[in-house]
């Protein structure tokens, strides 16, 4: 009987010495980001978010949350940052969050057990039909979650706009941010934002063998953008949960690489 590929992978991983594994990770693993471009139009978009693999992974990530035991286990990283801020704001009043490009609502489901005032937090996800359908099916009566494929109408108000690792896929990211500003939010939370002390550029990212354009941002440009709109940086840090260093192909100059993404929160003055 032929072993399952993931079992075979586990066996191989168990017998290969660590230095060889390290060499593989550093030098031979397929790179995620390649090329430095100016515009999205220079890269073919193969729509990875519509792929069966991505949709299945998204479904499995939600199922995995159900099997997680959260008792006594603190949240870490960007999830903790997000939950802490929302807990502070929802202590005495209701808080409405707009999660742009939020997929299945993964972040909401993940932080839900850690929300101190669950009924004070309502969360709206904007993403594609296939992903929000998975999220809808995962909801229970206690969740205060809604979904749409398009942005809510401009007169709506949200206390927080939240974007987790998605701004980089927006061709007109400044135009999108202008639209999101129309919700009069007090806070913008960006987690795993691809930004740093680099010049803004576009690169080609591979997700499940499909290419998509992806923009790395000069962080100072984003800070100035929000500064001009009346926001200050409330907190900002490197997100050390995932190293990006090994993910660049040789054709990306080192001055254009960031070792980590960023978590950054803007607060209206």
Residues that bind ligand SAM (CB under 6 A): 49, 101-103, 106-107, 126-128, 131, 164-166, 169
3-state secondary structure of 264: strand
Minimum Å gap between C-beta 100 and ligand SAM is 7
* Segment (H or E) for 225: helix 219-228
* CB of 136 or CB of 220, closer to ligand SAM: 136
Cα–Cα distance, 85 to 233 (Å, whole number):
14
Residue partners of 210: CB distance under 8 A and separation at least 6:
46, 47, 48, 51
* CB of 48 or CB of 227, closer to ligand SAM: 48
Cα–Cα distance, 264 to 235 (Å, whole number):
6
Residue 105 gets the label, from left (phi > 0), alpha (psi -120 to 50) or beta, of left
Cα–Cα distance, 79 to 85 (Å, whole number):
10
* CB of 12 or CB of 64, closer to ligand SAM: 64
Fill in the DSSP letter of residue 139.
-
Minimum Å gap between C-beta 37 and ligand SAM is 18
* CB of 101 or CB of 177, closer to ligand SAM: 101
202-226: b (≥16 Cβ within 10 Å) or e = bbbbbbeebbbbbbbbebeebbebb
* CB of 132 or CB of 252, closer to ligand SAM: 132
Minimum Å gap between C-beta 212 and ligand SAM is 8
Minimum Å gap between C-beta 165 and ligand SAM is 5
Minimum Å gap between C-beta 241 and ligand SAM is 12
């Amino acid at each position: 009987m032929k072993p399952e590929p993931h079992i075979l992978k586990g066996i191989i991983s168990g017998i290969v010495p660590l230095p060889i594994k390290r060499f593989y990770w550093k030098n031979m693993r397929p790179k995620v980001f390649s090329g430095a471009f100016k515009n999205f139009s220079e890269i073919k978009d193969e729509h990875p978010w519509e792929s069966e693999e991505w949709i299945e992974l998204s479904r499995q990530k939600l199922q995995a949350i159900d099997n997680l035991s959260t008792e006594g286990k603190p949240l870490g990283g960007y999830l903790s940052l997000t939950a802490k801020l929302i807990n502070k704001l929802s202590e005495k009043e209701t808080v409405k969050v707009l999660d742009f490009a939020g997929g299945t609502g993964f972040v909401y489901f993940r932080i839900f057990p850690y929300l101190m005032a669950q009924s004070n937090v309502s969360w709206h996800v904007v993403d594609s039909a296939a992903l929000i359908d998975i999220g809808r099916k995962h909801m229970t009566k206690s969740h205060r979650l809604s979904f749409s494929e398009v942005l809510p109408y401009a007169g709506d108000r949200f206390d927080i706009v939240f974007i987790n690792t998605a701004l980089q896929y927006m061709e007109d990211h400044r135009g999108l941010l202008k639209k999101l500003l129309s919700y009069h939010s007090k806070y913008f939370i960006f987690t795993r934002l691809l930004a740093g002390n680099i010049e803004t550029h576009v690169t080609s990212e591979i997700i499940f063998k499909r290419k998509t354009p992806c923009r790395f941002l000069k962080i100072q440009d984003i800070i100035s953008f929000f500064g001009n709109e009346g926001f200050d940086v409330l907190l900002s840090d490197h997100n050390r949960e995932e190293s990006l260093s090994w993910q660049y192909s040789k054709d990306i100059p080192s001055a254009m690489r960031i070792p980590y993404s960023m978590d950054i929160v803007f607060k209206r003055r």
